[in-house]
Amino acid sequence: MSNWQAVPGLQIAIDGPSGSGKGTVAKMLAGEVGLPVLDTGLLYRLIGGLALERDIALDDSEALAALVDEMLEQVAWTVNGIAFGGENWTDRLRSEAVGAAASTVAAQQQVRDKLLGLQRKIAESGCIMDGRDVGTVVLPQAQAKFFLNASVRERARRRWAQLKDQGGSSLEAVIEELKMRDQRDRERQHAPLRQAEDGIAIDSTTMRVDDVVDRMLGVLARRGLITAV
Ligand SMILES: Nc1ncnc2c1ncn2[C@@H]1O[C@H](COP(=O)(O)OP(=O)(O)OP(=O)(O)O)[C@@H](O)[C@H]1O
Ligand SMILES: Nc1ccn([C@H]2C[C@H](O)[C@@H](COP(=O)(O)O)O2)c(=O)n1
């Protein structure tokens, strides 16, 4: 049961770099306001993951375009994650290798253009969507846009803590991987990661997840986009 009621069709964009907490915060906020949450990174991860599995070069734009077309025919993207060909792929897309592949294929304009329609369609009746370009490109008309950030060391520490039980890399290696991913996502030509002009920046380096969600709820309530129930 949600504690807040959202205005009909409310769209909330949450963008930010890897490990800033977008996904975690988006899910908690969704529970508070009763909206579906959609993690756009999963779309890029699915393409990256499929490309790795099929040995498709990550800069082969023709093969990637065909892969996206195939993916769009067989994808089911829901609050439980992403399914392809009737199988739930979400868990196997979580590795850093798939994240890096996703970031590489995401630099291709053709790939991004092909995914735009699906993202907008899913958001039509209201949602919380997290990614890199949601507030700037996918939903520029969203009523609330947040740009979540944290220091690179803190983001790497969070990611490392998540992966270490699976025998992952050292903290220093995670920091380097994250820096490379940040650079690729921020410096690419098409839809780079950046804060929307009307976006609200939140630095979560020293904040608890609950405090980040409370800050967002405060903004939404002050704007009349949610009311307490
Ligand atoms: N404010 C916070 N304080 C401490 N830990 C946090 C905070 N926000 C998120 N975390 C933790 O950091 C990890 C990464 O968070 P999350 O997956 O939500 O980030 P993300 O921005 O969605 O990353 P990605 O873009 O790579 O999917 C999770 O283990 C999460 O519990
Ligand atoms: N809206 C989006 C979402 C994701 N990407 C790319 C860039 C990321 O490095 C990669 C993986 O995303 P994550 O699951 O870590 O959020 O996908 C993008 O370009 N645009």
Q: In the prediction, which pLDDT does 148 show?
A: 98
Q: Round to whole Å and give the CA distance between 223 and 117.
A: 28
Q: DSSP string covering 133-181, please?
A: SIIIII-TT-SEEEEEE--HHHHHHHHHHHHGGGT---HHHHHHHHHHH
Q: What is the mean pLDDT of the chain?
A: 95
pLDDT class of 146 with cuts at 50, 70, 90: very high
Domain ranges in the chain? 9-35+145-217, 37-124
pLDDT class of 202 with cuts at 50, 70, 90: very high
Q: Round to whole Å and give the CA distance between 98 and 102.
A: 6
Write the ipTM. Answer: 0.98
What is the percent of the chain where pLDDT is above 70? 99
pLDDT class of 211 with cuts at 50, 70, 90: very high
pTM for this one?
Answer: 0.97
DSSP state of 7: P
pLDDT class of 48 with cuts at 50, 70, 90: very high
What CATH number does domain 9-35+145-217 carry, 3.40.50.300, 1.10.3720.10, 3.40.50.720, 1.25.40.10?
A: 3.40.50.300
Q: Round to whole Å and give the CA distance between 184 and 179.
A: 9
Nearest C-alpha to atom 25 of ligand 1 is from which residue? Answer: 18
The binding-site residues of ligand 2, defined as CB within 6 angstroms of any ligand atom, are 18, 40-41, 44-45, 99, 102-103, 106, 131-134, 181, 185
Q: Is the distance from the beta carbon of residue 17 to the nearest atom of ligand 1 less than 6 Å?
A: no
